[in-house]
């Protein structure tokens, strides 16, 4: 800027950022829960088949199965090597894995949507901070120009 006469200008800053987004909520507050009978059953399987209670009950049933089929008290319906019991376990594993994956898939979709909303909020906040920095840079430039103009005025009068 040259040393011409200038009046002091009013500096302009952007207004403060307004946080107009809804408050962050816990994911369990957002989750409406399973809506179809299939989703409800998948969530029930996910919740119950991964528990100690289920493991203990299943272990007791296996012990009873083996004792009844290996002893001579009853006519064994599944003699050693317990092929029918292995078939039941195989079917249980196949269906349990599928149901658990369905339940997790529904929960993962909800988490992904919540992550997307959080990322949008973070992006808006970052943009506001960057806009504020840009306004401050402009203001500093204006201050520098005003100081330079005042120095030129002082030099003229000396």
> How many beta carbons lie within 10 A of that of residue 34, not counting itself?
17
Residue 47's contacts (CB-CB under 8 Å, 6 or more residues apart) are none
Question: Measured between alpha carbons, how far is residue 69 from residues 55, 82, 139 in Å?
Answer: 21, 8, 88
Q: Give the predicted TM-score (pTM) of the model.
A: 0.51
> How many beta carbons lie within 10 A of that of residue 89, not counting itself?
13
Task: Write down the pLDDT at residue 85.
Answer: 93
Task: Write down the pLDDT at residue 56.
Answer: 94
Task: Write down the pLDDT at residue 10.
Answer: 62
Task: Write down the pLDDT at residue 39.
Answer: 83
Task: Write down the pLDDT at residue 121.
Answer: 86
> How many beta carbons lie within 10 A of that of residue 57, not counting itself?
12
Question: Measured between alpha carbons, how far is residue 135 from residues 9, 112, 128 in Å?
Answer: 15, 34, 10
- Where do the structural domains in the chain lie, given as residue ranges? 34-121
> How many beta carbons lie within 10 A of that of residue 93, not counting itself?
10
Model confidence over 5-43: pLDDT tens digits?
Answer: 555 566 666 666 666 767 766 666 666 777 788 888 888
Task: Write down the pLDDT at residue 76.
Answer: 85
Task: Write down the pLDDT at residue 18.
Answer: 67
Going by C-alpha positions, the residue among 101, 111, 106 that lies closest to residue 45 is 101
Residues of the chain falling short of pLDDT 70: 1-19, 21, 24-31, 72
Instruction: Measure the CA–CA gap between 62 and 72, rounded to whole angstroms.
Output: 17
Instruction: Measure the CA–CA gap between 142 and 145, rounded to whole angstroms.
Output: 5
Both structure tokens of 93? 């594993």
């Amino acid at each position: 800027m040259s040393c011409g006469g200038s009046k002091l200008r009013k500096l302009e800053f952007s207004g403060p950022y307004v946080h107009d987004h809804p408050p962050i909520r816990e994911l369990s507050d957002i989750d409406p829960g399973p809506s179809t009978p299939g989703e409800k059953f998948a969530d029930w399987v996910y919740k119950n088949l991964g528990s100690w209670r289920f493991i203990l009950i299943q272990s007791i049933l296996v012990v009873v199965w083996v004792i009844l089929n290996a002893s001579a008290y009853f006519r064994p319906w599944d003699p050693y090597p317990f092929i029918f019991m292995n078939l039941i376990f195989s079917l249980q594993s196949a269906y349990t894995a599928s149901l658990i994956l369905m339940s997790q898939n529904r929960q993962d979709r909800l988490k992904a949507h919540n992550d997307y909303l959080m990322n949008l909020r973070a992006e808006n906040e970052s943009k506001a901070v960057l806009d504020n920095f840009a306004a401050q840079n402009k203001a500093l430039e204006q201050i520098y120009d005003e100081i330079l103009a005042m120095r030129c005025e002082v030099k003229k009068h000396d």
